[in-house]
């Protein structure tokens, strides 16, 4: 029976030569340079993110020295007071040094109201008074609305003192 043993090893045909089996070598990738690059990238990103300065809005407030004070006609002044609840109150000054009754302004109507008041008086100066207990976000929103309105941006910040808080409370805020 010729050729019946499929499982049997080959005999080699009788010449005495043995077939050499090839040894398969695996692929070897040197990971050392890749690790070095990864560590350099990691170090770079850590250093650049921790050393970057936080993005903060810089507001320079005046010192309040007597010689720095500017005389302004109160008829050209608009007081904008923002209460601790975020309510916005507008009140115009009078030329005799008094102030009109504050008016509650809805935030969405702030820009048109500012433009209306400015069109009536081009010499308008805005005095902004914010309660310290209000949210910082509300202050930024008010400043953004002033900057979006089509008026000359002449405004200053003043501290909200107890008389201002009393005016806001009497207006309902």
Give per-residue pLDDT as tens, 107-152. Answer: 899 989 988 988 888 888 888 999 888 888 888 898 888 888 888 7
| CB-based contact 106:89 (threshold 8 Å) | no
17 — pLDDT class (breaks 50, 70, 90): low
| Res 167 pLDDT > 70 | yes
State the pLDDT confidence band at 38, using cuts at 50, 70 and 90.
very high
- 82-105: per-residue pLDDT in tens? 988 888 999 988 888 888 888 888
User: Under a CB-based contact definition with an 8 Å cutoff, are residues 103 and 131 in contact?
Assistant: no
Q: In the structure encoding, which two tokens stand for residue 141, read together?
A: 């929103």
Residues in Cβ contact with 123 at an 8 Å cutoff, skipping those fewer than 6 apart: 73, 76
**Going from the N-terminus, what domains does the chain have, and what CATH number goes with each?**
74-170 (3.30.420.270)
Tell me the whole-structure pTM to 2 decimals: 0.59
């Amino acid at each position: 029976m010729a050729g019946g043993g499929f499982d049997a090893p080959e005999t080699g045909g009788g010449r005495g030569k043995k077939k050499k089996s090839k040894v398969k070598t695996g692929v070897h990738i040197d990971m050392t340079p890749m690790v070095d690059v990864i560590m350099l990238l990691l170090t770079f990103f850590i250093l650049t993110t921790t050393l970057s300065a936080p993005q903060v809005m810089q507001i320079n407030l005046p010192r309040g020295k007597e010689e720095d004070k500017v005389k302004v006609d109160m008829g050209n002044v608009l007081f904008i007071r923002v209460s601790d609840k975020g309510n916005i109150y507008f009140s115009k000054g009078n030329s005799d040094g008094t102030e009109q009754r504050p008016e509650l302004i809805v935030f969405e109507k702030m820009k048109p109201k500012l433009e209306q008041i400015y069109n009536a008086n081009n010499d308008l100066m805005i005095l902004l008074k914010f309660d310290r207990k209000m949210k910082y976000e509300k202050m930024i929103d008010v400043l953004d609305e002033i900057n979006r309105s089509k008026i000359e941006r002449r405004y200053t910040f003043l501290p909200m003192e107890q008389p201002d808080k009393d005016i806001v409370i009497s207006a309902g805020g």
